[in-house]
Amino acid sequence: MQNIFKNSQEWLQFDHDHLWHPYTSMHDPLPCYAVLSAKGSKIMLDSGDALIDGMASWWSAIHGYNHPKLNAAIVAQTEKMAHVMFGGIAHQPASELGARLLNMMPDCFEHIFLADSGSISVEVAQKMALQYWQSSNNLKKQRFLTVKGGYHGDPFSCMSVGDPTNGAHHLFPTQITKHLYVARPEIGFDEPWDIDAVNELRAVIKTHHQSIAAIIVEPIVQGGVGMRFYHPQYLREMRSLCDEFDILLIFDEIATGFGRTGKLFAMQHAGIEPDIICVGKALTGGMMTLAATITTKKVAQTISLGDVPILMHGPTFMANPLACTVASASLDILLEIDAQTAQVYWQANVTRLAKALLKLQQLSGHKAVKQVRVLGAIGVVEMHENVDVARLQAEFVKRGVWLRPFGKLVYIMPPYILSNAEIEQLCDAIIEVIEQVY
Ligand SMILES: Cc1ncc(COP(=O)(O)O)c(C=O)c1O
């Protein structure tokens, strides 16, 4: 391939003039930093600066960048086949990954749909739930119930179960299907539980259960909208209401899966299991796009026994062999046991990072800060007001760290490989910048 652009100035200008970035204006975009490469915990800018990564590329690159084992897995698979259609063809990379995923799941999970992105896995979960009830000859169960403050992706089906106020409902009022929304779970992860916290949920379920196919939530951490951590008892109550009123439960573990919250999956904080679970993001160690919708024998068999016995989804890049291979390699790293300490790789690192992130609590009591919270390898500083993203980012880059605040949130969701000194530098940068700017 011959490059069109001679230097980073040229391609950066093209980017500015022609390429949309996530949630930005084409006319007046937020500044972008030109990145030339990334290795381990560092992102290399064309300016020559190396930034310590505090975002894990939107929570996916848990092993850092350019990991030799992940690179090798992709190269080896490329030499066999980069892609082949999954319709009518089976391949070992898909089975290797499927078996690894089922080994990590509670026993009741048996069937997997390998989707090409997190949001598509959510759409597939929704279809599974709707087709489950159609196949059960219950055509009334057509709606979803969710809690406010959720995020499940940007396609219309995902937006429809996202937060009805802070999401995009107002932009597409006739296109977004209206479902049932109850107040977000208010009680924090380790605050005292109050049984009244599920009154509204119970009341809405009692009134509407005949039309509810499934409840969908992000377990424990509401990420994309507010980075809020809620009480595990809320999920236990939700599970028992689903059982009582014959409603399926979908957990979207796309952000929380693979150790991020201090458990391998966030549902383990509550000790309960949903009927359908979505995983993505960190599944491939952030190397490629891939997600999975995993369900029970009961759900899969019921769908298969209906008038329409097929699950109605089949994307071109379903179960892409490169993505499946690198996902298997990533899961193997995640579950590696350190010979000296006998600790599992993800657990040892997430526990270590969780301790280090507590340093952010120095900001508790600052006049501009509403709350500081830490759960697993997630550290959040919630401000009273929206932050100036461009300004804060420039300050962070000056201090050699990569962070991307949004709304009122300045947060760290780092790769698990960060050293103690690096995580400290990230925390120090946040503390310094907030103290300087506010
Ligand atoms: C909880 C949750 N669900 C779904 C998605 C959408 O995943 P993707 O961006 O891979 O489509 C996200 C992305 O941030 C997410 O955090």
Does residue 85 fall inside a structural domain? yes
CATH classification at residue 212: 3.40.640.10
Residue nearest to atom 2 of ligand 1 (CA): 152
DSSP-derived secondary structure letter, 191: S
pLDDT tier at 30, thresholds 50, 70, 90: confident
Q: Which residues line ligand 1 (CB under 6 A)?
A: 117-119, 122, 151-153, 218, 223-224, 252, 254-255, 280
The residue whose CA has the least distance to atom 13 of ligand 1 is 153
**55 and 171, same domain (yes or no):** no
Shared domain check, 357 and 252: no
- What is the span of the domain harbouring residue 54? 33-66+340-437
Minimum CA distance residue for ligand 1 atom 4: 152
Write out the DSSP string of 376-412: TTEEEEEESS---HHHHHHHHHHTTEE---BTTEEEE
Scored b (16 or more CB within 10 A) or e, 376-410 reads: bbbbbbbbeeebebeebbebbbebebbbbbeebbb
70-84, 161-175, 374-388: which range is least confident on average? 161-175
**Separation of 58 CA from ligand 1 center, angstroms?**
9
Q: What is the CATH number of the domain that holds 50?
A: 3.90.1150.10
| Residue 7 maps to a domain | no
* pLDDT for the residue 29: 86
How much is the pLDDT for 167? 73
Nearest CA to ligand 1 atom 5: 153
Residue 47 — pLDDT band, cuts 50, 70, 90? very high
pLDDT tops 80 at residue 368: yes
- pLDDT, tens digit, for every residue of 56-97? 999 999 999 999 999 999 999 999 999 999 999 999 999 999
Pair (240, 149) in one structural domain: yes
Note whether 405 and 302 are same-domain residues.
Answer: no
Q: Do 75 and 61 sit in the same domain of this protein?
A: no
Determine the Cα–Cα distance for residues 40 and 11; give it in Å rounded to an integer: 25
Rounded to whole angstroms, the Cα distance separating 286 from 291 reads 11
Mean pLDDT rounded to a whole number for the chain: 97
Model pTM?
Answer: 0.98
pLDDT tens figures, 101-145 = 999 999 999 999 999 999 999 999 999 999 999 999 999 999 999
Angle of CA points 376, 382, 387, to nearest 5°: 130
**When comparing pLDDT for 302 and 340, which is higher?**
302
Question: Has 151 been annotated as catalytic?
Answer: yes
Classify residue 324: in a domain, yes or no: yes
- What is the count of structural domains for the chain? 2
- Rounded to the nearest whole angstrom, what is the distance from the C-alpha of residue 438 to the centroid of ligand 1? 31
Q: Per-residue pLDDT for 166 more than 90?
A: no
Residues 186 and 76 in one domain: yes
The span from the CA of 163 to the CA of 150, in Å, is 5
Q: Coil, strand or helix: which one is 341?
A: coil
* 26: in domain: no
Length of the chain: 438
Do the bridges between strand 143-147 and strand 180-182 make them parallel or antiparallel, or are there none, so unpaired? parallel
289 Cα nearest atom in ligand 1: 10
Residue of 252, 263, 408, 416 marked active site: 252
Q: Examine the domain organization and report whether 156 and 113 are in the same domain.
A: yes
Could you give the residue ranges of the DSSP H alpha helices within 144-272?
156-160, 199-208, 232-245, 267-270
3-state secondary structure of 417: coil
Catalytic annotation present for 281: yes
Of 283, 312, 334, the last residue of a domain is 334
Structure tokens at 124: 């597939």
Beta bridge partners of 11: none
Question: Which amino acid makes up residue 301?
Answer: Q
| 116, 119, 287, best to mutate for ligand 1 pocket (most atoms within 8 Å of CB) | 119
Domain boundary residue, one of 298, 318, 334? 334
User: Considering the domain boundaries, does residue 5 fall inside one?
Assistant: no
| Per-residue pLDDT at 169 exceeds 90 | no
Contact call for residues 331 and 345 (beta carbons, < 8 A): no
One domain for residues 265 and 187: yes
